[in-house]
Amino acid sequence: MNRFGQRCNRLAALVESGGLDKPLLLITIALLSIGVVVISTASIEVAQAKYGDPFYHLFRHLVYLVIALPVAVMTFFVPMQVWEKAGWIMLGAAIVLLILVLIPGIGREVNGSMRWIRAGPFNLQVSELTKLFVIIYLAGYLVRRLGEVRSQLSGFIKPMAVMALMIILLLLEPDFGAVVVLMSAVLGMMFLGGVKLLQFLILICVSLVAVVIMAVSQPYRMQRLVTFMDPWAEENVFDSGYQLTQALIAFGRGEWLGVGLGNSVQKLFYLPEAHTDFVFAIMAEETGVVGAVVVVCLLAMLALRTLIIGRRAEKQGQFFSAYLAYGVGLLFGTQALINIGVNTGLLPTKGLTLPLLSYGGSSLIASCMAIALVLRVNYEFIMSSNPEERRIRDASQTLGAFP
């Protein structure tokens, strides 16, 4: 604990000296704070009915937050070169987790999906860690094989073969939402890595065809697409279109300024998964268009800030750091876009959390780790540039050397 306290003091010194990116840090703190408030109000009735404790989900979320923050601090103090060398380990860990979750007795089935591994009193959703681990591996691959990626077909095919394996394992759970988010981030990283335009366009087309095939190959996915086209149809409104129609009702009730915190009606067992997948709809009902726009802007700024940090690192020649930051920004941006699109009826229903806002320990821990990595990217960029390097090092010497 003393060592952890020292590291927290070092982080405070970094904030004061400019070693940590304040905009990214403030945006993250704002989203985490909003998440605590919205989870407390969205889950209170469900928690009371199911567990006899109105603050059951809030308490667990706070526990997850207490776990996530130290993990983020430890993640920050690991140099980027260590993460780069550990890319293969990250990939291996992702594959092992995806295999373990499919084994009966190890994986836990919820609503027909094997996405969780029981870890004591908590459930680990392996796809959340898998997405981050794959991004770390791919960033290292792009650095090692950058010339091959830009000039040869083999450099393009190799990571896609790895991705094919990951997609198959994710679909066996099944977790179609994680597949879409991961593929979007990987495609973006490959494009930013300089893959040939023709190869990229071919990959886009193949990916779109694959998504369509996966969507129509399962009856429940096809039904979601049909429902998405007309959720208010008589045969859909109380069946497959129920979640979407209730979410839209929540948005309609919120109007401009909302009905007030705690006054949502849709959370009273009308809208399923109100504190997880549809937390944005409850927040829009209680805080209105104004609150919803604020959250959308914060999420957009979070994704944009990580991309800006990545661009700075790339200009400095720190390519692994740059590609990792790009991947994290694309993960956050894509997942937030899909979740909000589902809540507002712009996209078919998918089971995806809203980063830093939805209830879920695995998502919260993975998100905090990802942000810590981006903060580390920014820190190493500043340490390698002048004249800021001397000022930060002087501040760090008062509390011990940084790794």
In a domain, 29, yes or no: no
What integer is the mean pLDDT of 175-204?
86
Give the domain range for residue 342.
34-77+220-396
Rg (the chain; Cα; Å): 22
Question: Are 213 and 225 part of one and the same domain?
Answer: no
Question: Are 154 and 235 part of one and the same domain?
Answer: no
pLDDT of amino acid 218: 65
Query: How many Cα neighbours within 13 Å face the side chain of 31?
Result: 30
How large a percentage of the chain has pLDDT more than 70? 84
pLDDT class for 402, splitting at 50, 70, 90? very low
Question: Are 50 and 120 part of one and the same domain?
Answer: no
Residue with the larger pLDDT of the pair 290 and 180: 290
Question: Are 207 and 244 part of one and the same domain?
Answer: no
In a domain, 313, yes or no: yes
DSSP letter for each residue of 68-108: HHHHHHHHHTS-HHHHHHTHHHHHHHHHHHHHHTTSBTTEE
The pTM of the full predicted model, rounded to 2 decimals, is 0.89
Tokens of 185: 């981030």
What integer is the mean pLDDT of 145-157?
84
Question: Are 168 and 236 part of one and the same domain?
Answer: no
| Cα 218 off chain centre by | 26
Number of domains in the chain: 2
Check whether 221 has a pLDDT greater than 70: no
Question: Which of the listed residues 162, 197, 217 is the one where a domain comes to its end?
Answer: 217
* Closest among 203, 223, 195, 189 to 323, alpha carbons compared: 189
Tokens of 253: 């009730």
pLDDT of amino acid 399: 40
Question: Are 160 and 246 part of one and the same domain?
Answer: no
Check whether 360 has a pLDDT greater than 50: yes
Strand partners, 116: 108, 125
Does a cis peptide bond (omega within 30 degrees of 0) precede residue 272? no
3-state DSSP assignment of residue 110: strand
Question: Are 169 and 210 part of one and the same domain?
Answer: yes
Residue with the larger pLDDT of the pair 117 and 214: 117
Q: CA-to-CA distance for 373 and 366, rounded, in angstroms?
A: 11
Under the phi-then-psi rule, with left for phi > 0, alpha for psi from -120 to 50, and beta for the rest, what region is 85? alpha
Question: Are 385 and 261 part of one and the same domain?
Answer: yes
Check whether 102 has a pLDDT greater than 60: yes
